[in-house]
Chains A and B, each alone.
Chain A
Amino acid sequence: SQTIHQWPATLVQPVGSPLSLECTVEGTSNPNLYWYRQAAGRGLQLLFYSVGIGQISSEVPQNLSASRPQDRQFILSSKKLLLSDSGFYLCAWGHPVREQFFGPGTRLTVL
């Protein structure tokens, strides 16, 4: 069966510090991968998606970047965090037309 891992679960970072969140998927090959952010009490905002290794599409202009160095690895990064980057970051995998499955998420607080 498929499993998706995200770490860390919780992160508190000062403004201006770098960020690296990692997501890995097991039990499937060549999945589409997605990064979402959910602000407190709000809906999910798609940040990035990837249909293959090295292929990244950005949905909204922002302070973040993403990379996919391996088929089942997806990384979300920032060089300098802003207060507005706080939120619940969710990685998901899926195949076209099908449902998506989410990792447990990382709760990021930028102080």
Chain B
Amino acid sequence: RKEVEQDPGPFNVPEGATVAFNCTYSNSASQSFFWYRQDCRKEPKLLMSVYSSGNEDGRFTAQLNRASQYISLLIRDSKLSDSATYLCVVNRGTNAGKSTFGDGTTLTVKP
């Protein structure tokens, strides 16, 4: 079983749709959690951190459920520019600061 698992998709949605991505992690000692966005042939870029209380940044909402070891990302009112691969990332919190990346969920927003 992979340490971080994501639904690979692809998710194909029309503009304006709401889409949700899910991610599960297996290491209960994990300390910090993030969502990254990766455009085709580019480096991953931090989208947002994920907190237990949930956090929102504009059209994006991230949730963490430590008991279920589950992370989610909700995108409201999808834009064409949201088309990308979304990576779920879990950090073990050791001095090495190693992060484990999910394989990503691909989103295509269509007009």
Could you tell me which A residues sit within 8 Å of B by CB distance? 32, 34, 36, 42-44, 46, 49, 51, 57, 88, 90, 94-105, 107
Contacts and interface: CB of A to CB of B under 8 A. Distances in A.
B102 A99 contact: no
Classify chain B's interface size.
20 to 34
A36 B87 CA distance: 14
Interface stretch (B13-21, B43-51, B60-68, B75-83): B43-51
Contacts of A51: 95-97
B99 interface: yes
Nearest to B6: A43
A88 B85 CA distance: 15
Contacts of A105: 42-43
A97 B89 CA distance: 12
A101 B87 CA distance: 14
Contacts of B43: 90, 102-105
A99 B46 contact: yes
Given A99-B34, A104-B42, 11 more contacts: A36-B101, A42-B103, A44-B101, A49-B96, A95-B97, A97-B97, A98-B97, A99-B89, A99-B91, A100-B97, A107-B41
Contact of B97 (A32, A44, A88): A32
B104 A43 contact: yes
Contact of B93 (A32, A36, A96, A101): A96
Contacts of A46: 98-100
Contacts of B41: 88, 107
A100 B104 CA distance: 16
